[in-house]
Amino acid sequence: MEVIVNAIVLRAVDYKDSDKILTLYSLERGKITASIKGVKKSGAKLKFASEPFAFCEYVLAEKQGRYTVIGASYIDTFFSLRTNMLKYYASAVVGEALNRLTVENESDDGLFSLTINAIKKINYQDNELKSLAVFLISLTEIAGYKIQKASCVACGDDIEGRVFFSTKNAEFYCLSCRPDDAMEITIETYNALKTLTERGDGVDIMPSHLIKLLKFLFYYIEIKTETKLKSGTSLVDFIKYIM
Ligand SMILES: [Zn+2]
């Protein structure tokens, strides 16, 4: 049976001599795994459709729940992701975090457009870190790990000075209300999160504060998924190198 899906490549792993196994995130079927044959041979017609973040209409052959790519046409090449390292690393985090926080065969229109919009912004605009942070905040919410409102959950005060965060319920606390299991985070992290969630991504945030917020979000996702977010580490290392 043939199936047509609009999908983006989250992950591509070499398989056998010249094939690849793709993790696709599709509008129609959510996350699916599909093999694509012969794409490592020179002149392979479908090579473009096996590149990370290729956004294509894929024609898949489905047999007993397994998919093979038999045709593809580009929707967007997202070319800058392949030529600009910061854009590449930022979009790699989008792909890895999405892969970690979703299960196969569950489609979600909202999450699909959130993902495509985040990749578009990273590719076409120059606020890569902010676009990534906004995406991760929404992704954790959709995945059932919403980070609670930026104020002390116990006394309701806006927090100034020292801030504490409990990963269990993703809640913030002031110094006087903090429970034993809450960890201290920086006020810059807290303020960057507060600005983005309350005022949207149109507001300027200092890059150094955004980096602190991203490290916090990576840590939080790692706790919730109990796996390392390798692309997050690569992005942080790369930023250190360029700044
Ligand atoms: Zn308090």
164 CA to centre of ligand 1 in angstroms: 10
Query: What's the 195 CA to ligand 1 centre distance in angstroms?
Result: 19
Ligand 1 center from residue 209 Cα (angstroms): 23
173 Cα to the center of ligand 1, angstroms: 5
The reported pTM is 0.95
The rounded distance, in Å, linking the Cα atoms of 69 and 213 is 38
Instruction: Using alpha carbons, select from 11, 15, 14 the residue that is nearest to residue 23.
Output: 11
Backbone φ, ψ for residue 241 (5° rounding): -70, -35
197 CA distance to ligand 1 centroid (A)? Answer: 20
List phi, psi (to 5°) of 140: -65, -35
Instruction: Measure the CA–CA gap between 62 and 144, rounded to whole angstroms.
Output: 31
Which CATH code is given to the segment(s) 2-76? 2.40.50.140
Residue ranges of domains in the chain: 2-76, 80-242
- The alpha carbon of 178 and the centre of ligand 1 are apart by a number of angstroms equal to 7
The pLDDT value recorded for residue 216 is 98
φ, ψ dihedrals at 73, nearest 5°: -135, 140
The answer to whether the beta carbons of residues 177 and 155 sit under 8 Å apart is: yes
Cα(186) to centroid of ligand 1, in Å? Answer: 16
Distance 133 CA to ligand 1 centre (A): 26
Facing residues of 34 across strands? 22, 67
Which of 64, 1, 9, 6 has its CA nearest to residue 33?
Answer: 9
Instruction: Find the 210 Cα to ligand 1 centroid distance in Å.
Output: 25
Cα 151 to ligand 1 centre (Å): 8
- DSSP secondary-structure letter at 149? P
Could you give the 3-state DSSP secondary structure of residue 48? helix
Q: According to the model, what pLDDT value does residue 200 have? A: 85
Angle at 38 between CA 107 and CA 53, to 5 degrees: 40
Find the 225 Cα to ligand 1 centroid distance in Å.
28
pLDDT in tens, 185-211: 999 999 999 999 999 888 999 999 999
Q: Residue 123 burial by CB count (10 A; 0-12/13-18/19+): exposed, middle or buried?
A: buried
Helices (H), the chain: 80-83, 85-101, 109-124, 128-142, 187-199, 207-225, 230-242
The CA dihedral of 168, 173, 179, 184, to the nearest 10 degrees, is 80
Q: Name the architecture of domain 80-242.
A: Up-down Bundle (1.20)
Residues of the chain with pLDDT under 50: none
CA 190 – ligand 1 centroid, Å: 14
pLDDT score recorded for residue 242: 85
Q: What span, in angstroms and rounded, lies between the C-alpha atoms of 217 and 223?
A: 10
Name the CA dihedral angle for 38, 42, 47, 51, rounded to a multiple of 10 degrees: 110
Ligand 1 centre and the CA of 213: distance in Å?
Answer: 21
For ligand 1, a single-atom ion, the residues with CB < 5 A are 152, 154-155, 174, 177
Expressed in angstroms and rounded, the spacing between residue 94 Cα and the centre of ligand 1 is 33
pLDDT for the residue numbered 125:
95
**Inter-residue contact 235 to 90 (CB < 8 Å):** yes
Distance 219 CA to ligand 1 centre (A): 23
3-state secondary structure of 49: helix
Identify any residues that bridge with 12 across adjacent strands, giving them in sequence order: 22
pLDDT at 65: 85
